[in-house]
Chains A and B, each alone.
Chain A
Amino acid sequence: EVQLVESGGGLVQPGGSLRLSCAASGFTFSNYWMYWVRQTPGKGLVWVSRINSDGTDTHLADSVKGRFTMSRDNAKNTLYLQMDSLRAEDTALYYCARSRAVGTYDALDIWGQGTMVTVSS
């Protein structure tokens, strides 16, 4: 079964750090670009970051640039999002998702169940 499972969310104080993980199974992880998307009741779905197949190229939304780092370990079939200098506005449900097409950007066809990040003192 094709699956993505996120972990690592939780409650953190403003200025703190968290590292999200996304474990992939059921497909050749190293062939696909991967994404992080977050969701809040107020702003809806918002793209956060993406990484290419071999991890050599990443793009981040302006709102998280300089604070978040996206990476992957293809040997472990795992995607990461290192989140530093967290702010209250980063509070959201974070999803990892897969690009539909192999080796390029596309619509997002596989999503994890999400991991909740709450930034609050």
Chain B
Amino acid sequence: EIVLTQSPGTLSLSPGERATLSCRASQSVTSSYLAWYQQKPGQAPRLLIYAAASRAAGIPDRFSGSGSGTDFTLTISRLEPEDFAMYYCHQYGSPPRTFGQGTKVEIK
């Protein structure tokens, strides 16, 4: 099973700042089948990015994904108040599909 390790655990930033979240896989992720989700308290995860770099429908362009192999990054170019949340990476190329433990983006 592919283990996904996200860093940092918590990111303390101010609105308007840039956020860079990392996801490292224990093995190469097949065909860059790596997704990113946002989750707010009491809500279900929301798909942001799929196939490492493709934005899901309706996702603002301040969210971008990059990476391949074992190293992936989610970047939020300028944090909006509604972006403070948990973020999870997810690989779906090799069964069983697995999730990272999450990065919390909090207001500094």
Q: Which residues of A contact B (CB under 8 A)?
A: 44-47, 59, 61-62, 95, 100, 105-109, 111-114
Contact = CB atoms under 8 A, between A and B. Distances in A.
A44 B87 CA distance: 11
Contact of B56 (A59, A100, A113): A100
Interface of B: 33, 35, 37, 43-47, 50-51, 56-57, 88, 90, 92, 95-102
Contacts of B57: 109
Contacts of B101: 44
Contacts of B99: 44-47
A59 B95 contact: yes
Contacts of A47: 96-99
Chain B contact residues: over half helix, strand or loop, or mixed? loop
B47 A100 contact: yes
B88 A108 contact: no
A45 B45 contact: yes
A5 B37 CA distance: 19
Contacts of B50: 100, 106-107, 109
Across chains A and B, which 7 residue pairs bring their CB atoms closest together, nearest first? A107-B50, A107-B35, A111-B44, A45-B99, A109-B47, A47-B97, A44-B101
